[in-house]
Homo-oligomer: A and B are copies of this chain.
Amino acid sequence: MSYLNETHDPSMQSWVVSANVPDNGFPIQNLPFGVFRPQGSPNFRPGIAIGNQVLDLAALAGVQPFTGQAAQALEACQGDSLNALMGLGQPHWSALRLALSRALRQGSAQQAVLEPLLVGADQVEMGLPARIGDYTDFYISAHHATAVGKQFRPDNPLLPNYKWIPIGYHGRASSIQATGHSFPRPVGQTRPASEGGTPGFGPCQRLDYELELGIFVGQGNAQGERIALDDADAHVFGLCILNDWSARDLQAWEYQPLGPFLAKNFASTISPWIVTLEALAPFRIPFERDANDPQPLPYLSSAQNQEYGAFDIDLQVFLSTQTSRAAQAEPALLSTSNFKEAYWNIAQLLAHHTVNGCNLQAGDLLGTGTLSGPDQGQEGSLLELNQGGKQAVKLPWGEERLFLQDYDEVILLAACHKDGYPTISLGQASGTVLPARV
């Protein structure tokens, strides 16, 4: 089985010159989908990123240079979200990708049709790529779960269900925003200073980020049906970066017995370009269980999943502050990690989510949970970097951080690297904390 086709040819070049610059992240092998509007335009519309340009797919649909499934897929790119395209299914996404790849190649006869429909990426505003019906957040890094669990249960950090169930819970869809936004520090209740006392109330004092990837569901499943593990890829439209901002002090007081609520639902940030699973095919790697760990139950295990189930995606967290920006210092790199370190993989998340008949829909978003790695420097949250609030993180310009301060900007990056293959970027997800409204 090969996931590769002509769209992955690493030697392919585009007539969009900026797409051929080494490591620009958006070469013709990427072609991520997003929703944008040119500056001054009121209407968001679908587009793809190519080099430092955005191709207006809504306008291209008006010209309709394609035929067959590619043309049908392009027809679905005329609203203000990608939901219609997502709902068409994998053969349509793949046909459109192939048609766009051919049209954007050096020597394409369609250059004259497409070239007027390019807009500079620095001339557009990016929106949410989809109407997100339901948002589910998972918890698939055993390294994160162990590090956080240790703070609550030093002797028994990983609960008994962890290695059997891809633990997940429902999150809030309405407060998910695209990169570049800001939000006020959340306000809420915190644990009483002494047992039986009155809870605290006020602005969150332990505001944190969480480094995650987001998985956009394409075609869903009918209620009562399930998505088999080996069919799951065809239901995934693509991946983005996700920051699951977390108010640790609110969380500690509210989360028993039904899970996090106000500690998470005030804001989440995603990167605006969805990199398709097809674009990520060259970065598929085997998914292996450690010999000490139990094999997953049959509905979460297959030969195909073991051979191709994981993805090699590099992740980075940067922080800039009011002080660093005033000093024109570069944002500080806080940690690096990789998606391949996760205990569960994408197909397993879809198979598990639907095993009970729960229906997924086009545009649904699944979060991976914090993607911490096994080593120091690979922590996906401040709570891990600061060892449970005990050790402040030193920043290169002289400041320290236990938790986020007002006007701090957290910038998450993700990209795939492989020898002999152009870098595939997932872009960035950045957001800025504003003072609480009290």
Contacts and interface: CB of A to CB of B under 8 A. Distances in A.
Interface of A: 133-134, 136, 139, 149, 152, 159-161, 164-165, 167-175, 177, 183-184, 186-189, 192, 195-196, 198-199, 201, 204, 220, 223-226, 247, 250, 253-262, 265-267, 294, 297-299, 352-353, 355-361, 364, 434, 437
Contact of A161 (B149, B165, B254): B254
Contact of A189 (B139, B165, B173): B165
Contacts of A139: 258
25 contacts: A152-B257, A159-B257, A160-B196, A161-B254, A165-B199, A165-B253, A167-B258, A168-B258, A170-B172, A174-B223, A175-B223, A183-B224, A201-B298, A201-B299, A224-B266, A225-B437, A250-B356, A255-B259, A259-B260, A262-B353, A262-B355, A262-B356, A266-B356, A266-B357, A266-B358
Contact of A174 (B160, B164, B262, B358): B358
A57 B286 CA distance: 57
Tallying the copies of this chain within the complex gives 2
Given A184-B224, A258-B260, A297-B201, A170 B357 contact: no
B357 A258 contact: no
A169 B258 contact: yes
A356 B187 contact: yes
Given A169-B261, A437-B224, A198 B355 contact: no
Nearest to A145: B257
A259 B137 CA distance: 12
Interface of A is mostly: loop
Contact of A258 (B177, B192, B195, B259): B259
Given A184-B224, A189-B165, A160 B195 contact: yes
A394 to B, nearest CB: 30
A357 B186 contact: yes
A25 to B, nearest CB: 30
Contacts of A359: 174-175
A259 B168 CA distance: 8
